[in-house]
Chains A and B, each alone.
Chain A
Amino acid sequence: MKKAIIFDSSTLINFSMNGLLNVLEKLKVIFRGKFLITEDVKYEVIKRPLKIKKYQLGALRIKNLLEKGILELPEKNSTIEKRTEELLRIANRTFIARNRYIHLIDKGEASCIALSELLTKGKVKNIIATDERTTRMLCEKPENLRKLLETKLHTKIKIKNENLDIFLKFRFIRSCELVYLAYKNNLIDLKNHNVLDALLYAVKYKGCSVSKEEIETIKKL
């Protein structure tokens, strides 16, 4: 394996809810690498929603991608599980409010980071695709996350800076960059001058953490 995209549940859910999983299949063809999900993400996007009528169809569609090999699980590896637990513990002991650690992220998100770390160690070029913003902020701009928490919680937030180094090496993309690439590579069947705008707002309204300002920037690229 030379390169991989690690998908968090938020991105797959977004593609599924927007009926864009076929676009993901086309992206896989031009990617010439692996699209990976962890066991924890599989639980959130397939196992759990299969029991909920409203999301059953969406889960079945993602399950189909797994069965077709578009999405793949990494080989069973105890290192991922162990590292997930370690990263989870560190991430959730980094931000402090009123003398309490703030529990920021959960297993699925931590497992993506753990897998990315493992792949990088194995010299596999990789990136995490996530639409949720907390994990991305923790890794890319923890200071912004501190400010956000402080503003929203109306209390002083301290950071254990020594914990941050571990997280600063990860890179992220979102559904909006993926649909942009699909559009640029003519992978979208719809032909209309508004297609890119429609795609970007569709993913935004299904939970992709992208601002209107960022969307306008993408459209000008």
Chain B
Amino acid sequence: MEKEHILKVLKETKAAVKREDIIKLKNLSNKTIHTASIEQDPDSIVVAVIIYSLSKIIERKKYTYYKEWPEFYKRYNQNIDKAIKALSEGKEDKFKVNIHKIRTEITKLSGKFKKYIQDVFRKAEINKASRIYEHGISMEQTAGLLGITIWELAEYAGQTGISDVDLTITLPMQERIKLAEDIFK
């Protein structure tokens, strides 16, 4: 884990949430994905998912309908503050506890709000998985990192332009068809 990078990202996330700056939040999440693709450490991945989830919650404004939101948001902020403090003091174990607590806080929620937040986080995991796959990590490895299935990743990645990148063409189409025809002969 690149401590300085995560610390900077978390501080900027706090500020962006206050300003409801969705674009900044999405950029911060993407930046974390570059690191997560190389290091593949669960902490960077959780941070990327949390930030992206937040951007989606704020973007849709649906959270304002739920009376549980202010309390959830308060606890979320507390955990981010604690994570920043722990990381600043070099207490990585404490940082991990607090950052993962944001995710586990969801289990304490109830009713429709819980379902809504769970859904946002699940979709964020699939989105981030798609980004890591886009970075060149295999489908199975990526799905494993995010705790999703290859089924979910394949379905999502197929809707994106990932396969339209020229570099992914590794054999002329005619040759590939010939390979297929030859094995069927």
Contacts and interface: CB of A to CB of B under 8 A. Distances in A.
Contact of B174 (A208, A213, A221): A221
B136 A154 contact: no
Interface string A131-149: 1111111001100110111
Interface residues of B, number: 43
Contacts of B37: 102, 152-153
A42 to B, nearest CB: 13
Interface string A183-221: 000000000000000000000111111111110011001
A11 B90 CA distance: 45
A30 B184 contact: yes
A218 to B, nearest CB: 6
Contact of A127 (B34, B138, B149, B179): B179
A147 B153 CA distance: 23
Contacts of A177: 176-177, 179-180
Nearest to B154: A207
Interface stretch (A71-79, A103-111, A158-166): A103-111
A21 interface: no
B119 interface: no
Contacts of B154: 10, 13-14, 17, 131-132, 206-207
Contact of A9 (B137, B150, B163): B150
Given A136-B170, A140-B171, A211-B164, A145 B140 contact: no
Contact of A107 (B134, B140, B149): B140
Contacts of A31: 183-184
A206 B150 CA distance: 11
A7 interface: no
A9 B173 contact: no
Contacts, number: 171
A9 B34 CA distance: 26
Contacts of A3: 183
B115 to A, nearest CB: 15
B149 A55 contact: yes
A68 B129 CA distance: 34
Interface in A66-111: 97-98, 100, 102-109
A160 to B, nearest CB: 16
Interface string B155-185: 1011100111111111101101101110110
For A10, A105, A135, A151, the residue with the greatest tally of chain B CB atoms inside 10 Å of its CB is A10
Nearest to A125: B183
Contact of A181 (B34, B39, B40, B184): B184
B151 interface: yes
A52 interface: yes
Contacts of A213: 164, 169
Interface of B: 34, 37-40, 133-141, 144, 149-151, 153-155, 157-159, 162-171, 173-174, 176-177, 179-181, 183-184
Interface of A: 3, 5, 9-10, 13-14, 17, 27, 30-31, 33, 44, 48-49, 52, 54-55, 58, 97-98, 100, 102-109, 125-127, 131-137, 140-141, 144-145, 147-149, 151-155, 171-174, 177-178, 180-181, 204-214, 217-218, 221
18 contacts: A5-B183, A9-B150, A10-B139, A13-B154, A54-B151, A104-B136, A105-B140, A132-B133, A132-B139, A134-B137, A148-B165, A149-B136, A172-B179, A173-B176, A209-B163, A211-B163, A217-B174, A218-B177
